[in-house]
Amino acid sequence: MSNRKYERFCELNRKIAVLSSAAGLLSWDQETHMPPKGAIIKAEQMGVLSGIIHNLKTDKELVGLTEELLHDSSLDDVARTNVYEFNRTLQKSLQLSTEFVEELNRTISAAYPAWHQAKTYSRFELFAPHLERLIELKKQEIQLTGYQLHPYDALMDDFEPGLTTHEVDRLFDDVRKELVPFVQTITKHSSPDDSFFNQPYDENLQVAFGRTVLEAMGYDFSSGRMDRTEHPFCIGLHPGDVRVTYKIKPHDISEIIWGLIHEGGHALYEQGLPADQFGLASGSAASLSIHESQSRFWENNIGRSSAFWNFFFPKLQLTFPEQLKHIHANDFYKAANRVTPSLIRIQADELTYHFHIMIRYEIEKSIFEGKLTVNDLPGFWNKLYKEYLGLDVPNDAQGILQDVHWCHGGFGYFPTYSLGSFYAAQFYYAMNKELNTEELIEKGNLIPILDWLRTNIHQHGMKHRAQQLCEKVTGEKLNFAYFMQYAHKKYNSIYHINN
């Protein structure tokens, strides 16, 4: 027998999701094709639309339905999860006025062009007032919605439900104890030559090769598209409309290759979510760390493997015969895994990458503990880069302004990148128990790998929290040891450690 109250609950949630996807489309437009003068009306559009979405979410009918359904014992497990997860976010939304939500979204919308200009001219002071206002608003939001142990927990909860600073502190302690000394050992050995990455590479041919790789991964171009942007991202408006963007450098082939593979991993997850559950928790990603596990899985475990380049390098070499005529597939593989401290997070190798994340985590946590002001940020950022990576930051564009997240109000997001890498290694280990993964990759047959992810991760949506999903897929909760096992196996061989 149908449950009319639950059906109405689903109908209202879908309406909210449709409007949210329209807001997402405006955000995509802002970062790809919007004319500079469009920023003024864009901020107003986002403010009004966010207010409408907030009002729909907190409407008396939906609030009442949710309260009734929370106590409805006739619901199945999926329906109960949908109601519970909606209620979790609803309780936060009920603490925020429409005026506050509109102001926050107007501020975010205005912050993006300011950040872009500040980065272009490498002048943090152009973005600083916008960032200061965003931080003020996020602090207000934390006080309005509340937290139990640490104010930063409230921010991480938006991206990784239930994650605490205590858990992240403990995880990064493991990184410091195990990964940091391993990287120190690696850097004592000679590094592979990657100079051939930095040559003139025709931009149109770069894009064509990137498209070839995405198609091989299983990305459905009838449900997506590729566009150029300053900071690569993926946006899922619906499983039938999932878009990826890329950054391209005419003298660096590596930028577009692993950038697109990374965003392609996100896109495959979005395209693999159950479309008939659109707007509900069961049709949404489990969490941002699981989302990042998919991008890091494809980028690193697959896209930086020797098997991957045994298959794809001959195609790349045919595309750029002059630049790569004296290079072998194994040379390219080793270059793709060169470990060296760098200034830019998105260009970092997969090991030192986590030092970049720890820096951002420490900064964000200190901001919301009240230990840092906006004016303190460039100096503190530069200090940590010297401490963690031994690098002097030459300017704001390569330092405090390199990430787009803060102008989007995305405080609390960064830890999910490291969590995602660690989940990816554990999923990869579990996959290898069922598939001959390396043989499939070497033949360019990536679809069975995608099918495994569809079956074990994508189709479940948010039916399971991240740790529960990990346990269901791998037999245990997140265990950093799998990442270190993966890292030792790969890099001991590349750098001839203990051989």
Q: Are 367 and 165 in contact (CB under 8 A)?
A: no
Q: Are 307 and 438 in contact (CB under 8 A)?
A: yes
Catalytic residue among 263, 270, 350, 364: 263
355 DSSP 8-state letter:
H
Dist CA 153 CA 233 (whole Å):
25
Structure tokens at 474: 């791998």
Burial label for 332, CB within 10 Å (0-12, 13-18, 19+), is buried
HSE-up of residue 438 (Cα within 13 Å, Cβ side): 5
Structure tokens at 50: 């966010």
Q: Are 46 and 108 in contact (CB under 8 A)?
A: yes
320 DSSP 8-state letter:
S
φ and ψ at residue 311, rounded to 5 degrees: -85, -45
Burial label for 173, CB within 10 Å (0-12, 13-18, 19+), is exposed
3-state secondary structure of 84: helix
Dist CA 290 CA 427 (whole Å):
10
Q: Read off the amino acid at residue 360.
A: R
Catalytic (active site) residue 364:
no
Q: In what order do the strands lie in the sheet with 224-228?
A: 224-228, 241-246, 234-238
Q: Phi-psi category of 371—alpha, beta or left, where left has phi over 0 and alpha has psi -120 to 50? A: alpha
Residues with Cβ < 8 Å from 128, sequence gap 6 or more? 374, 375
Structure tokens at 103: 């102001």
CB atoms within 10 A of CB 88: 13
φ and ψ at residue 241, rounded to 5 degrees: -150, 90
Q: Are 499 and 189 in contact (CB under 8 A)?
A: no
3-state secondary structure of 485: helix
Which sequence positions are flagged as catalytic? 263
